Amino acid sequence: MNAFIPYGRQLIEDDDEAAVVAALRSDFLTQGPATRTFEDELAAYVGARYCVAVSSATAGLHIAMAALDLGPGEGVTSPNTFVATSNAMAYVGLEPVFADVDPDTGNLSLAAVREAINDRTRVIAPVHFGGLPADMEGFATLAGERGVSVVEDAAHAIGSEYVSGGRVGNGRFSSMTVFSFHPVKSMTTGEGGAITTNDPALHEALMMLRSHGITRDPARLADAPGAWWYEQQMLGFNYRMTDIQAALGASQLRKLDRFRDRRLAIIARYRAGLSDLAWLNLPPDTGTQTVCWHLFVARFDFEAIGRTRAEVMAALAGEGVGSQVHYIPVYRQPWYVARQGDRSGRFPDTEAWYARCLSLPLYPAMTDEDADRVIAAVRGLG
C-alpha cells in the first residue's frame, strides 16, 4: 500500500542528525556558540547586517513589534495568514486592522492598505503568503509617505527573492523581517524563528527582549562591580533558541537552495499535470523571479465538480493524499469577532479566496511518483 502523502513535512538527513548530535555532546545545549553561528550564516544568506534567532516566529513577531516601541495605535496586516501576525500587534497594545488581499496571489493588497491606513496607523505587516513576496516596493513607499514602520512576516518565505532582486529579509524595504522554521516550512529548526534587520539599535533591543530584557554589555552598565553583574533594563521575555535547534538550522540552511529547487520541480510537474482543468486555478507563475514556495495553494471551483471542500479533502485522503486550508480568515476567529464584530462582509477577496483554497502536498522529500499520485487524485475529482 502506498504511503500517505501529507501536505507538508520536514526533510531531515544524515548531516542534520550529525549536527544535532554534535550540539548534544558540546558544552552548550541552550543558547550558545551554535546559535551565533546560525545567526551569522542566516544574516549572510539573506544579505542583512544582523540576525536574532528566537524560539518561534510568533516570538519574533512579538519582539519585533515591541522593539519599535510604537505606543498606542493600530497596525495593518493581512487576514489571510496565521493568527500570530495580528496577535503580535495586540501583544504590544496595537489594534490589529485587516485589509483585503490580492485575488490572484492571496497577498496583502497595497490598494486595500492605502484605504485602511490612517493617522493612528503605526506599522504595516505584509505577509509573504505561500512564499511569494508581497509588493514590498509599494509598501515601503507607502510607509515612507505616511511615516509608519514596516515589519515583514516572511514565515513562509525563507529563500525567496523580491521582484527587483535580492533575498527576502535583506532589509531594503522594512525595519525587520521575521522567519519561521516550523517543520512544514522550507527549512526547520524543529520549532523556532529569526528576525533580520540592518538597524543596530533594533538589533540591540531584540537581543535584550528575547532574554528577559537583561544585558551584560559593559557599555550599557554604568557601575558594574564585577564580571558577574547583569541588569534587567527593560521588560523582556524568554524567547531564546537552543543550540540544539540552531545546529539543525545551520545544517538545513546550507542546503536550502536545493530544497527550494526540488519544490520548484514538483510545482512544474503539477503545472504540467493540472493546468488544463477548468475548475482549478493554480498559483501564479512568477517567471524569472525566484520563489521558494512553502505552500502550493490551488483554488477549486467546488460547485463545478459537485463536491464540498470537506468532500474533496476526504476523497483526496482516500487516495492517500493530504491537504490543508490556508487560511481561515483571522477576523473570523472568535477572539477577533468578540473584539471587532463580524467583519466578513468587508473583505470580499479574502472571502472568495477562503471559499476556494486548498493546499496540495509540497515538500522536498516528495518523489516524482508522489507528485503524479497527487495529480491523479486531483484529476479524479472532476
Distance CA 132, CA 2 (A): 32
How long is the chain? Answer: 382
Looking up cell 523571479 gives 289
> Roughly what angle, to the nearest 10 degrees, separates helices 57-68 and 200-209?
120
Which triple of cell numbers denotes residue 103?
A: 485575488
Phi, psi (deg, nearest 5) at residue 182? -60, 155
Active site includes 255?
no
Query: Other C-beta atoms within 10 Å of 350: how many?
Result: 28
CA pair distance 94, 381, nearest whole angstrom: 44
Cα–Cα distance, 190 to 364 (Å, whole number): 16
How far CA 99 is from CA of 4, 140, 142, 173, 362, in Å, comes to 37, 16, 14, 19, 28
Ranges of H-type helices in 153-290: 200-209, 243-253, 256-274
Which residue among the candidates 122, 172, 182, 185 is catalytic per the annotation? 185
Which stretches does DSSP call E strand in the chain?
A: 50-54, 73-77, 94-98, 121-125, 149-153, 176-180, 193-197, 214-215, 231-232, 280-281, 296-300, 357-360
Terminal C-alpha separation, the chain: 24
Q: Where are the alpha helices (DSSP H) in 211-255?
A: 243-253
Q: What angle do CA 309, 311, 312 make, to 5 degrees?
A: 65
C-alpha cell at 137: 516596493
β-partners of residue 74 are: 95, 121
Instruction: Compute the distance between CA of residue 263 and CA of residue 366 in angstroms, rounded to an integer.
Output: 9
Residue 259's closest CA among 114, 131, 98?
A: 131
Query: Which residue, among 189, 193, 152, 188, has the nearest Cα to 169 in the 3D structure?
Result: 152
Q: Where in the sequence numbering do the catalytic residues fall?
A: 185
